[in-house]
Structure 1
Amino acid sequence: MRLTTRTNLAMRTLMYCAVNKGRIVRKQEVADACNASENHLAQVIHLLAQRGFLKTVRGRSGGLTLGRAADDIRVGEVFRSFEACLPFAECFSAEENSCPLSAACALKGVLTGALAAFYAALDKVTVAELVNGNSQLHALLKAA
């Protein structure tokens, strides 16, 4: 299993905002700290804001900040926002499934259980837990 770049950037952005709590950060700051394209990051920020994870402020002194407290943002919820629209395997998509084994294959059931366990583990973790007490991360992400 491999996370999409968008999910990875979403988590980096949320952690950056959590480390810089109480401050409106600029997209360019996040892009620089997270080694990301500003254009790609803009798409991620847009979806995070739509889902209420971020609050964006337009204008000259604009930027972004967490849309709710870091301890109210569960990692599993963020991952589902970005990953759930992508079928894990071909057989998970009713429209694109051309696997000749689908009718008899038990692997889909096993994968469904594994994905449920994966998301259940992520649901136990908040963004706050990822950043609080993590001095190394703070050193990397704290805006000057």
Structure 2
Amino acid sequence: MSPSRLANQNGEKDWENGSMASSPASIPEYTGPKLYKEPSFKSNKFIIHNALSHCCLAGKVNEPQKNKIVEEMEKSSANHFLILFRDSSCQFRAVYTLNPDSEELVRLAGIGPRLVVLSTVDAIYKYNSDRKQFTTIPSKTLSMSVDAVLKAKGGQTPY
């Protein structure tokens, strides 16, 4: 390959022709479909679905309950879902959504209290999709990275 052609590929000026090989004018403008879509919101719906399928409600016997909960999640306009555990061994109770105005968790589906006040949350968990298990997060603040909570037994919660 000649030095002038090699220079053209590197975007350097071709001194023989006096032009830039990769100047903006020589590149046609892309008019095809938009390839990148800006994310409109962050949701953990698929993570919760995987947690229900592989961890909380795995197996044929739990399939009707899991399908009902997934159906309720699909109907919901919420972006973030939380699983409530019965105890520290991560036994499933219900799926909740966060009401940011009242700082309460509102039951979407499952068997558990209708509302859970955030001050009664004892532990928070993150679901690890690779290991198919929940791990405790050393924090007391709910964020988008939280997938499950454990409510303290002594906390007052309306049913």
TM-score clears 0.5: no
Between 1 and 2, higher relative CO (CA 8 Å, sep ≥ 6) is seen in 1
TM-score, scaled to structure 2: 0.22
For the pair shown, the structure with the greater C-alpha radius of gyration is 2
More strand by share: 2
Q: Return the structure number with greater helix share.
A: 1
